[in-house]
Amino acid sequence: MNVMIIVTHLLGTGHLSRALTLGRAFAGRGHKVLVASGGMPAPQLDATGLSVLGLPPLRSDGTEFTRLLTETGDPADTAYLNGRAKALVDAVTSFAPHVVITELFPFGRRSLAEEFQTALDAAHALPTRPVILSSVRDILAPPSKPAKADRAEQIISRDYDGVLVHSDPQITRLEASWPVSDRLAGRLHYTGFVAPAAPTPHPQGIGKGEILVSAGGGSVGQPIFHAAIEAARKMPDRPWRLLVGGRDAADRITQLATLAQGAPVTLEPVRPDFRQMLPLAAASVSMCGYNTAMDLLQSGTPAVLIPFDDGKEVEQGLRAESLARLSAIDVLTSENLSGAALHDSLNRVISIGRRAPQIDGFDGAQKSVTIAEELLRQTG
């Protein structure tokens, strides 16, 4: 069957990474997959076996998700947005998917609602209507107004066949962050967590004994890197590796290099082999996005989490609170982040030692394929 996944990441790359993992699972079962990606290019992510349609790219203005910018930093005007919508409609029409999956929408990406709705209308207009599913992570940004939840539910009821919730309901149910009515509950399909296969240690031993510092694929992690450099000076015998993401990574690495002079710090752009470095690392310092949480659970690496909380974001904080119940995981809020605090937290989690890697519950991508196949059979 033909599977089309529509995703736009506006700040970090977590949404796209999860969509690609889902796409690879469909491709691994012999299905043809087209991923329509509307965010900034992220060549470090694995798109093996997939066709990727790059829409005219968008990013948010920092945490102001209603202000959309082009790759050059200009505000996206009506003509630019119409070009994206047309590209999506053309792709739906030519690819003729049997399954359409929208990542996050309609529970988020409301600033792109018109674009998504245009694609959904094109899917409904196909000679054979595809199965249409929404794909959401374990924890959503709670709606600021009841009307937003009501609108999402209306769209699900009208246009969708189901919602893939990439969580274990025994650990985190959607109700933890989103109001779930009886009508919506009947559309939910819990898949378990979506993650690639557990990382294996880097064959070249890269990362061994290091403190790995990452802050997603966007450009919001500079305070984390500053605190890491301060903490590194207090731990001169421990090697540190700071992996810097975002379209301005080269400029930011240059700035950080000046601050890091004399500290035991290696500065690099984000690496595609990061997951293989984790099992060998002494500890990880990062935010707490969905994909990061999966990596840490699967690797057992001691970790200090600094949840992203700009713009009143609460998703990562809720996730970090749940992870903090595990051994060798500390949480620092951005308000309390400093070199000294990070140094103390790292010493604490490193002294506790590694956790046993978690093995079960990460086959959500495969279960998503099974759910989509079954729904298609039911409608066929």
In tens, the pLDDT along 297-337 reads 999 999 999 999 886 788 899 899 989 999 999 999 999 99
Look at residue 64 in the predicted model and tell me its pLDDT: 81
pLDDT in tens, 84-105: 999 999 999 999 999 999 999 9
pLDDT in tens, 162-174: 999 999 998 889 9
Q: Is the pLDDT of residue 135 over 70?
A: yes
pLDDT in tens, 100-129: 999 999 999 999 999 999 999 999 999 999
Domains by residue range for the chain, with CATH: 2-195+361-379 (3.40.50.2000), 211-352 (3.40.50.2000)
Look at residue 217 in the predicted model and tell me its pLDDT: 64
Look at residue 203 in the predicted model and tell me its pLDDT: 96
Number of residues written out for the chain: 380
* Overall average pLDDT of the 345-354 stretch: 97
Please tell me the distance from the alpha carbon of residue 88 to that of residue 4, in angstroms, as a whole number.
10
- End-to-end CA distance of the chain, in Å? 12
* Overall average pLDDT of the 37-52 stretch: 93
Please tell me the distance from the alpha carbon of residue 141 to that of residue 313, in angstroms, as a whole number.
7
Q: Is the pLDDT of residue 278 over 90?
A: yes
| Residues contacting residue 137 through CB under 8 Å, at least 6 positions apart | 18, 166, 167, 290
Look at residue 232 in the predicted model and tell me its pLDDT: 98
Q: Is the pLDDT of residue 210 over 90?
A: yes
* Cα separation values, 37 from 15, 34, 55, 150, 176, Å: 10, 9, 6, 27, 28
Look at residue 360 in the predicted model and tell me its pLDDT: 87
Look at residue 310 in the predicted model and tell me its pLDDT: 81
One-letter amino acid at 374 equals: E
**152 token code pair:** 């999402």
pLDDT in tens, 256-274: 999 999 999 999 999 989 9
Look at residue 219 in the predicted model and tell me its pLDDT: 65
* Overall average pLDDT of the 136-144 stretch: 92
Mean pLDDT, the chain, rounded, equals 94
Please tell me the distance from the alpha carbon of residue 315 to that of residue 309, in angstroms, as a whole number.
8
Q: Is the pLDDT of residue 185 over 80?
A: yes
Look at residue 313 in the predicted model and tell me its pLDDT: 81
Q: Is the pLDDT of residue 213 over 80?
A: yes
Read off the pLDDT band of 37 (50, 70, 90): very high
**327 token code pair:** 């051994």
Look at residue 123 in the predicted model and tell me its pLDDT: 98
Q: Is the pLDDT of residue 218 over 70?
A: no
Look at residue 368 in the predicted model and tell me its pLDDT: 98
